[in-house]
Amino acid sequence: MSGEKLIAAHVTETGESTYAVSILVSGHTIKGDEPLSFGGGNLGPAPYDLLLAALGECTAMTVRWYAKQQNWPLEKVEVRLSHLKTDAGELPENEGKSGKIDLFEKQVIVHGAALTSEQRAKLVEIAAKCPVQRTLQSGGIIRTLAE
């Protein structure tokens, strides 16, 4: 793994509810849990909540980074997201396939009265290239080890 920065996280049950956990990552502590409807105590975001938030965070940061590199007059960026597990065959791009699939949708709103329509279009295009989106789309490898 030459040149790559290792990110480590530590997740521990807290006992505050059936599924409550404390998440320590990069010096930050986050509480996680499942909603009441899934038997948790709703003491923090559920795993898919955090995944969706990570996609939105990365998207906003990527748009901001690009606008800064170009010295464009971006005042603010917003990202609205949704996640749904749906039947693959119900999506036009997956016609003929079966099984469940994760559908992520994100709406990118760029604010800046001085932005041209071309700049706005480019920022939305760049939003689709955020590293978290690329990770989700590529699959990756997950190794599960026991101690």
> In the chain, pLDDT over 90 holds for what percent of residues?
82
What residue segments make up the domains of the chain, in order of their start?
A: 1-45, 46-138
Query: What tens digit of pLDDT does each residue of 107-136 get?
Result: 999 999 999 999 999 999 999 999 999 999
A 10 A CB-CB count for 74 gives 20
* Share above pLDDT 70 across residues of the chain, in percent, rounded to a whole number: 95
Give the pLDDT confidence of 69-85 residue by residue, as tens digits: 999 999 999 999 999 99
Specify the pLDDT at position 93: 74
Higher local confidence (pLDDT), 139 or 16: 16
**Is residue 55 within 8 Å of 115, Cβ to Cβ?**
no
Pick the CATH number of 46-138 from 1.10.10.10, 3.40.50.150, 3.40.50.300, 3.30.300.20: 3.30.300.20
